[in-house]
A and B are shown apart, each in its own frame.
Chain A
Amino acid sequence: MFEIIAKVDTGDTAWMFAATALVLLMTPALGLFYAGLVRSKNTLNTFMMCVGAIAVALVTWAAVGYSLAFSEGGDLIGGLDFVFLQDVGFEPYEAKAATIPHLLFFAFQATFCIITTALVSGAVVERMRFGPFLLFAFLWSILVYSVLAYWGFGFGWLIEGGTLDFAGGIAVEMASGFSALAAALVVGARKDYGRQALLPHNAVYVLVGAGLLWFGWFGFNGGSGFGTGANSTLAFTNTLLTPACALLTWFALDAIRGRTVTAVGAATAIIVGCVLITPAGGFIAPGWAMVLGFVGALPCYALVAYRTRTRVDETLDVLAAHGIAGFTGIVVIGLVAQASWNGGLGDGLFYGNADLLWDQILAAIAVPAYAFIATYILLRVIGALMPLRGPEREEAIGMDVVHHGEEAYATGEGAILVSHEAGQERVPVGAKD
């Protein structure tokens, strides 16, 4: 080992600026991906849940979230040293990222909190009211995301105990996936679920969204080495390989089951592949990353196929695409991690070290349990204070008109301009009976 000297490196810093912006792009990309998957009358509301998550999670992250996740505290939750960014300055934060400004490290991590909060919305789209969702996002980003980020990235019991998680299998993928399951159970199924065919209204949005997410993921995984070193290079390259292999598995399974290769399936496969490599990116050899893509897509595909036969309307399959894929990636690190590829951080079971596998399995049990239980309780509490969803009539009209007073595909036909002088009273649909 060599002594790390905390000094800002211009190359590392330049890349991390770009990586931060790339990860921020992932949230609007997710909005587009989700918006394409819902019916046209809910396009804007679905997109707005992601936009709302940017606003809410950024504020909570700056206020307390970052401090709870990244300042030293106990085993379960961090301290309050960095509340409202006090002492988060231009000097590097030696304990976490020794070559970039602390403030930039904060900004990079902020984009992770945002995308994770936005991901959960996929479970409740087309029915959850916008106001309660924002309140949920506000509390969830602190009570679930910050806690699990402390466990996986900060100084919590998992990372201190030896669990490896490169870019967020714990705090991002398993957290959002298993929270989504809880959210779907509390909020309940859409009124038409299981009665009518509820089809994606624009598969091109879905593909473009998936493509932009993949693009952003190079910042997400490639930036999680906090510089331009070997780990980052490995993670960046693996982020190319794993999704490509997951795509091929998906093509094959689609062709076997339905005789055709579907576009919406392909978009899903890209996400699944990116998630699979997220925890393992900087730790496993490129060859294993390819195996992970081919094999890891199988349980995700199985759950996507199975879920629609159940009464659980986890609408956009966050559990399958993020929860299960993140779970798989976390466990696979324990099997195939190689010290020769990950800079001496550790070998997995296949390279003679069983201890790491146990550390990984511990995370794969504890994190889903916490995410599910905490989200379930949180939504029950919010649900006791205010209705989580509107009457069926509003759900039938569509969330766009009811909650935003806009339509995604307004034609202007039959629309009469309201003059400002007339002082017309606004009558939102649904406000009167």
Chain B
Amino acid sequence: MIGIVRPEKANDVLEALYRAEVRGVSMSRVQGHGGELERVETYRGTTVQIGLSEKVRFEIAVSDAFVQPTIDALCAGGRTGEVGDGKIFVIDLERAVRIRTGESDDMAVTPVGS
């Protein structure tokens, strides 16, 4: 699953994911555009339109039972109600392997000890 949210909401999303007991998360900073208002910046007479804005991209691999809770958490944590809150893409995962043990698929994305 891929969730793209506002950087200032990243902490809220992490908190919501934690509450939903989703523990395996990667995040990266990306730049993107999703139809939000373009903002204008000026540097010493050079005026530019910032077409791309900073976003945070979450990559989360979960088992089927966790798909809806994860979507709910991303929405709850990432929503402000303004244009530019981001998107969630749910993608089938062909295979997942935990490097340490060689476990695959559901076992690989289940947190240790649960």
Which residues of A are in contact with B by a Cβ distance under 8 Å? 41, 192, 196, 393, 396-398, 401, 405-407, 410, 412-418, 420, 424, 426-429, 432-433
Contact = CB atoms under 8 A, between A and B. Distances in A.
B8 A415 contact: no
Interface string B34-60: 000111111100111111110000000
B98 interface: no
A406 B48 contact: no
Given A414-B50, A415-B50, A401 B39 contact: yes
B104 interface: no
A413 B8 contact: no
B63 interface: no
Given A393-B82, A396-B8, A416 B51 contact: yes
A417 B47 CA distance: 6
Contacts of B48: 412, 415-418
A417 B50 CA distance: 9
A427 B43 contact: no
B11 A196 contact: yes
A405 B39 CA distance: 8
Given A405-B42, A406-B43, A414-B31, A429 B51 contact: no
Interface in B1-54: 6, 8-9, 11, 31, 33, 37-43, 46-53
Contacts of B49: 415-416, 418, 424
Contacts of A424: 40, 47, 49
Contacts of B46: 417
Nearest to A417: B48
Contacts of A396: 6, 8-9, 80
Nearest to A197: B11
Contacts of A413: 31, 52
B82 A427 contact: no
A432 B37 contact: yes
Interface SS, A side:
loop
**Which 10 A-B pairs rank lowest in CB-CB distance, beginning with the nearest?**
A414-B52, A396-B8, A415-B48, A418-B47, A429-B39, A416-B49, A414-B51, A405-B41, A426-B40, A196-B11
A427 B38 contact: yes
B40 A428 contact: yes
Given A418-B40, A432-B37, 12 more contacts: A405-B41, A406-B41, A410-B41, A412-B48, A414-B53, A415-B49, A415-B51, A417-B46, A424-B40, A427-B37, A428-B39, A429-B37
B85 to A, nearest CB: 11
B40 A427 contact: yes
15 contacts: A393-B80, A396-B6, A397-B8, A401-B39, A405-B41, A405-B42, A406-B43, A410-B41, A413-B31, A414-B53, A415-B50, A424-B40, A427-B37, A427-B39, A432-B37
A403 to B, nearest CB: 12
Contacts of B38: 427
Contacts of A196: 11
Contacts of A417: 46-48
A426 B39 CA distance: 8
B52 to A, nearest CB: 3
A348 B52 CA distance: 65
A429 B8 CA distance: 15
Nearest to B47: A418
Q: Looking at B9, B46, B49, which has the most chain A CB atoms within 10 Å of its CB?
A: B49
Contacts of B9: 396
Q: Looking at B9, B40, B46, B53, which has the most chain A CB atoms within 10 Å of its CB?
A: B40
Nearest to A407: B41
Contacts of B80: 393, 396
Contacts of A427: 37-40
A196 B14 CA distance: 11
Given A393-B82, A397-B8, A405 B40 contact: yes
Contacts of B39: 401, 405, 427-429
A358 to B, nearest CB: 52
A400 to B, nearest CB: 10
A417 B49 CA distance: 6
Contacts of B52: 413-414
Contacts of A397: 8
A405 B33 CA distance: 19
A426 B38 CA distance: 10
